[in-house]
Structure 1
Amino acid sequence: MSTITSTPLWAPLYGASFGEAFSRFWKKYATFSGRASRSEYWYWALANGLVLLVLFGVTLALGLPTSTIDPATGASTPGVIAVIGLVLIGAWTLATVIPGLALTVRRLHDINFSGWMWFLNLIPSIGSLIIFIFTVLPSDPRGARFDQPTA
């Protein structure tokens, strides 16, 4: 029996596979309650990084050769492929910003911190480092206080 079918959606999925983490990310699109395991969080981070790497790589590889530079002014004009690539990158970013925020809040819950700790990201330089450190910490059983099982 697969862990994804035996673990309720409201509970963290410890030992989630890459596919399970990717699926749960989208199923819990804007769910800020509950918890997310390290594997759920980091497999999504890997998936997101790979998608962005491919999008940027294709945009650069195919978009730069189609760009033009005006010899008189030195101004560059992006080609159609570059514009399409940038639109796709923007669309992916917009589609994943809310669920990414929700996943980070659930990860903070799993280590028994309030989701409001996410706002540490707003502290220049050090804030993102603090959140990064929090996301690699092991789960804390006291984080179960954030679980909200449904009937």
Structure 2
Amino acid sequence: MTMGAAFKSFWKNYFNFTGTATRAEYWWMVLLGSILTILWIVATIFFAVVAGLSPIQENLNIWHWLMTLSGGLIAWLVISALIFLAVLIPALSLEVRRIRDTGLNAVLVWIVFAIDILSDGFGSNGALNDIVSLLILLIMVFPTDKLANVRMIGKNQR
């Protein structure tokens, strides 16, 4: 699968939480997402510098900060938030489909997915989050149906 095919599949399977996604489909989108995120961060820093925002100011609260933003930067942040929301559902769908492709049974797919989402929500501090991240990484690199016949966790085992 090429990056272009993975990109098409990403958008085609917007709400598909029941299918599967190959390693290539998943990792091409991770690579593309990483590249686009780096470009977005650079562009955001550029817009902030052009707008004259200083990251270090004394007694600056969120309301004062929002009132000092330029219209262009506000538009950039709104567009960024909309793009994030548009990509959120297919990204979650892709993750679930990739976990399903490894051969885990249906219940464990959703348990692994929930643990991943919850561990991300509690910040990146602590060994538990590191262990969860490593577990998710290992699951994501397994080939298709690698876990299908593993006792108690595979989809072919009851």
Give the TM interval when normalised to the shorter protein: 0.7 to 0.9
Deviation of the 1:31 alpha carbon: 0.2
Q: For residue 35 of structure 1, what is the aligned residue in structure 2?
A: 20
CA distance in 2, matches of 1:44, 1:133: 17
| 3-state DSSP of counterpart to 2:93 | helix
Question: Is residue 73 of structure 2 the alignment partner of residue 82 of structure 1?
Answer: yes
Q: Deviations over 1:105-137 (max 9, x none)?
A: 110111012330211212451323321221111
Letter in 1 for 2:48: G
Q: For residue 141 of structure 2, what is the aligned residue in structure 1?
A: 136
Extract unaligned runs of 5+ from structure 1: 1-15, 146-151
Change (3 A) 1:52 1:89: farther
Using the size of structure 2 for normalisation, the TM-score is: 0.69
Q: Deviations over 1:33-82 (max 9, x none)?
A: 1110001001111122222222221111122231346xx96535333333
| 3-state DSSP of counterpart to 1:120 | helix
CA distance in 1, matches of 2:133, 2:15: 21
Q: For residue 119 of structure 1, what is the aligned residue in structure 2?
A: 114
Pairing of 1:1-151 with structure 2 (within 5 A):
16-68=1-53, 75=60, 76=65, 77-113=68-104, 114=106, 115-116=109-110, 117-121=112-116, 122-123=118-119, 125=129, 126-140=131-145, 142=148
Q: How many pairs were matched up?
A: 128
The percentage of counterpart residues that share the same residue type is 30
CA distance in 2, matches of 1:28, 1:21: 10
Asked if structure 2 preserves the Cα contact closer than 8 Å seen for 1:64 and 1:82, the reply is: no
Asked if structure 2 preserves the Cα contact closer than 8 Å seen for 1:21 and 1:40, the reply is: yes
Extract unaligned runs of 5+ from structure 2: 120-127, 150-154
Structure 1 stretch 50-59 or stretch 79-88: which is displaced more? 79-88
